[in-house]
């Protein structure tokens, strides 16, 4: 019994070590908790709630392809951050309050510097990695 418990403990510890050995990409956790339910685990617009929405969720893996091969990171951040009432128009909820936390200067594609939540930057960069 003690030997079985020791083996189970060692297995659990080695599994925990493996789970923490692979660093999670910044933005991935927010995406999986807040976005995947509509956009799907891989961002293809096929989440479990997608068919229940009046506006189909975008396939987030095609953002660059649909923008002449350039990932529109500023537009992505503007869409995600939202503003009060925006969800009533396009189907996207307002995520701004969920992104509260540390703020960094972000230089937009047009050269403007904006104070931007670090979590929003991380999410937008994570989405850039999903492009196909």
User: pLDDT tens for residues 8-35?
Assistant: 334 344 444 444 445 588 899 999 999 9
Burial of 33 from C-beta contacts in 10 A (0-12 / 13-18 / 19+): exposed
Higher pLDDT, 92 or 112: 112
Q: Distance between CA atoms of 81 and 93, rounded to whole angstroms?
A: 9
Task: Tell me which residue range forms the domain holding 120.
Answer: 2-128
- Does the global pTM surpass 0.95? no
Q: In this predicted structure, what is the pLDDT of residue 92?
A: 80
DSSP state of 80: H
Q: Please, what sign has the CA dihedral across residues 33, 37, 42, 45?
A: negative
How many distinct structural domains can be found in the chain?
Answer: 1
């Amino acid at each position: 019994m003690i030997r079985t418990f020791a083996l189970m403990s060692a297995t659990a510890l080695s599994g925990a070590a493996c789970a923490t050995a692979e660093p999670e990409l910044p933005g991935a956790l927010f995406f999986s908790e807040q976005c995947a339910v509509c956009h799907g685990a891989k961002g293809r617009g096929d989440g479990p709630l997608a068919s229940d929405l009046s506006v189909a969720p975008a396939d987030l893996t095609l953002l660059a392809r649909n923008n002449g091969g350039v990932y529109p990171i500023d537009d992505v951040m503007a869409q995600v951050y939202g503003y009060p009432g925006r969800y009533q128009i396009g189907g996207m909820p307002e995520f701004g309050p969920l992104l509260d936390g540390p703020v960094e200067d972000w230089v937009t594609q047009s050269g403007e510097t904006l104070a931007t939540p670090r979590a929003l930057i991380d999410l937008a960069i994570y989405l850039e990695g999903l492009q196909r």
